[in-house]
Every structure is written in structure tokens, then in C-alpha cells.
């Protein structure tokens, strides 16, 4: 059985994945594009050893921030794990919808089959916005027009939407927008308290500016602060704003690209949400 836990940042995906893994004796596979990188811990809200509760976790901390890691790499690594644990239950958890789709669907990356589209009437900024709608974690530079066009052109191969390769159930966690935005804002404040500034400064002092750091929310904004472009207050507000915008893009992808069963999270009693999800899964696997 493959269960996928998706949703916007800050809704409790990590907690849900661990609770379900304990119930179903499952392994957990990360599908968050930023959490594959070592050292990006606080800013990505990466699961801690304590939070894991002895459940096996995979595809976390597998690359240095200086390494390139693409959706193609993720597809290969995730499918190896699916094969390795084919006799066990598997839970995917994370907010990078394209990674999940690439792992579970017949998503091919054969350049010869890319269907070229005409983007000549689009500006670089418009292309970049389209790329973010397709993949909220897109790491292509906004001015790299050639790569943006190629990325957008391979959405559908030969006009056929990719088909699922594995039976799976996708659970989405959601909440009211105002509640979500408040949780995101408070989460950023907590990250600052827990040492996000120091975490980012470690990379900044080493003069590291990789694709992961350039696109990682919480990292790029604090780089601007260290460069003297903004005040610390402005940088923190930018992190909150960009996190909220990212949540919107995540919803867009999940609703348009994946078959998701959504559950409103009961933050006052999270077990109520866990029980509701378990009841749904029970009905799905009958």
C-alpha cells in the first residue's frame, strides 16, 4: 500500500505521516525538494530525530547544497525505494507535487519526445510564473529562458497525460486560509527563535550561493539581509509572504495535477484528523 500525505506548508504533514507509519508499519519517503539537502533543517521544517519516533525515513539529507538534484534524480531514487519496499507499506510525505507525480506516474524524461510549444509571446517573468505553477519548487533562474521553455514543454508527452504506475491513495491536509496564513507566520517566527538566522549565516559566510539556497524560502531572503539590501524585519516579513505565496502554488498543483482526498485539520485535537484519515484509508483498501 502506498499512501501519500500532501498539502501546503504548515498543516501537519510530518505528524500525520509518522502516525500513519506507526499504524501501518510503513516506511516514510520524503517528497519535499528542499529536504533532500543536508544542512537545510530549520528553514525547511525538516523532521527531527525525535519526531521520527523510530520510523525509518528515506530521501532526507541525501545531498549537499552544492549538488544538483533534479526531478529526474528524485524519480530514480524514489522508484528504487518503491521496489525495495514492495512488500511493505510506504508513505510519501511532502509538498513538492511534481516529485510525487514523477515517482508514481509514467512521467518520462526523454528529450526526443518533448513536445515543443511556442512561448515567443511570453516574457521571461511570465514563463517563470508558469514554471512555478507547474512546480512550486522550480529552481530554474527567471532569466534562463531556454531552460524555462524546455521545462514547460515537457509537461505532457505527445499530448498524453501520464498514467499512474502504482496503486496509491493521496491524502491532502488543509485548513481555512486565514488559519493557514496565521500558522505560517507563527511558524516563521518560531524558525527565527530556533536559529534560522544562524543556519543561513553558516552558508553565507562560506560564500555559498547554490540553486538550493537561491530558491529556498527562508534562505534567499536572509541572504538579502546579510547583503544589506533589506532590514531583518523586512527579511522576516518577506519569508512569511513568500511562504504564503508558495502555499497558494501548492494548492494549485495538487488540485490540478493530482487526485487528492482533502481533510480539514483539527489543530485542537489532531487525533480526530488522524482517525478520519484512517477511516478513509480503511474504506479505500477494502
What residue ranges do the domains of the chain occupy?
2-107+162-284
- Give the CATH class of 2-107+162-284: alpha beta
> 78-82, 230-234, 269-273, 282-286: which has the minimum mean pLDDT?
282-286
Residue 282: all three cell numbers together: 480503511
pLDDT of 153 reads 66
Q: In the chain, pLDDT over 90 holds for what percent of residues? A: 70
Q: How far apart are CA 148 and CA 150, in angstroms?
A: 5
Q: How far apart are CA 73 and CA 98, in angstroms?
A: 12
- In the predicted model, is pLDDT for residue 28 greater than 70? yes
Averaged pLDDT of the chain: 89
pLDDT of 284 reads 79
- In the predicted model, is pLDDT for residue 137 greater than 80? no
> 155-164, 227-236, 254-263: which has the minimum mean pLDDT?
155-164
Helices (H) and strands (E) in the chain, counts: 12, 6
Indicate the burial class of 58 (C-beta count within 10 angstroms; 0-12, 13-18, 19 or more). middle
More confident site: 231 or 213? 231
Q: How far apart are CA 103 and CA 249, in angstroms?
A: 20
Residue 184: all three cell numbers together: 505560517
- Work out the pLDDT band at 157, boundaries 50, 70, 90: very low
Q: Per-residue pLDDT averaged across 25-53, rounded? A: 95
pLDDT of 113 reads 43
pLDDT of 110 reads 53
> 12-16, 131-135, 174-178, 245-249: which has the minimum mean pLDDT?
131-135
Q: Per-residue pLDDT averaged across 30-47, rounded? A: 94
In tens, the pLDDT along 233-247 reads: 999 999 999 999 999
- In the predicted model, is pLDDT for residue 112 greater than 60? no
- In the predicted model, is pLDDT for residue 160 greater than 80? no
pLDDT of 286 reads 64
Number of other residues whose CB lies within 10 A of the CB of residue 159: 6
Q: What is the DSSP-derived secondary structure letter of residue 166?
A: S
Considering only CA atoms, give the Rg of the chain. 19
Indicate the burial class of 119 (C-beta count within 10 angstroms; 0-12, 13-18, 19 or more). middle
Q: Per-residue pLDDT averaged across 194-221, rounded? A: 92
Q: Where are the alpha helices (DSSP H) in 85-123?
A: 97-104
Amino acid at each position: 500500500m502506498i499512501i501519500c500525505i500532501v498539502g501546503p506548508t504548515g498543516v501537519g504533514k510530518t505528524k500525520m505521516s509518522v502516525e500513519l507509519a506507526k499504524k501501518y508499519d510503513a516506511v516514510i519517503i520524503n517528497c519535499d525538494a528542499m529536504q533532500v539537502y543536508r544542512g537545510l533543517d530549520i528553514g525547511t521544517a525538516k523532521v527531527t530525530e525525535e519526531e521520527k519516533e523510530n520510523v525509518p525515513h528515506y530521501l532526507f539529507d541525501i545531498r549537499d547544497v552544492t549538488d544538483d538534484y533534479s526531478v529526474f534524480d528524485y524519480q530514480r531514487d524514489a522508484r528504487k525505494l518503491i521496489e525495495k519496499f514492495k512488500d511493505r507499506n510506504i508513505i510519501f510525505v511532502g509538498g513538492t507535487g511534481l516529485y510525487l507525480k514523477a515517482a508514481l506516474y509514467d512521467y518520462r524524461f526523454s528529450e526526443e519526445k518533448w513536445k515543443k510549444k511556442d512561448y515567443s509571446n511570453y516574457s521571461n517573468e511570465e514563463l517563470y510564473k508558469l514554471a512555478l505553477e507547474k512546480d512550486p519548487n522550480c529552481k530554474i533562474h527567471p532569466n534562463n529562458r531556454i531552460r524555462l521553455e524546455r521545462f514547460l514543454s515537457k509537461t505532457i508527452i505527445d499530448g498524453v497525460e501520464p498514467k499512474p504506475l502504482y496503486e496509491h491513495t493521496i491524502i491532502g491536509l488543509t485548513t481555512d486560509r486565514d488559519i493557514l496564513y496565521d500558522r505560517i507566520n507563527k511558524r516563521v517566527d518560531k524558525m527565527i527563535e530556533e536559529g534560522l538566522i544562524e543556519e543561513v549565516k553558516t552558508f553565507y559566510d562560506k560564500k555559498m550561493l547554490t540553486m538550493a539556497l537561491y530558491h529556498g524560502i527562508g534562505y534567499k531572503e536572509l541572504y538579502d539581509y546579510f547583503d544589506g539590501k533589506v532590514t531583518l524585519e523586512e527579511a522576516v516579513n518577506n519569508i512569511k509572504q513568500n511562504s504564503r505565496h508558495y502555499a497558494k502554488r501548492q494548492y494549485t498543483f495538487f488540485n490540478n495535477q493530482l487526485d487528492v482526498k482533502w481533510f480539514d485539520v483539527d489543530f485542537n485535537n489532531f487525533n480526530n484528523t488522524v482517525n478520519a484519515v484512517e477511516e478513509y484509508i480503511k474504506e479505500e483498501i477494502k
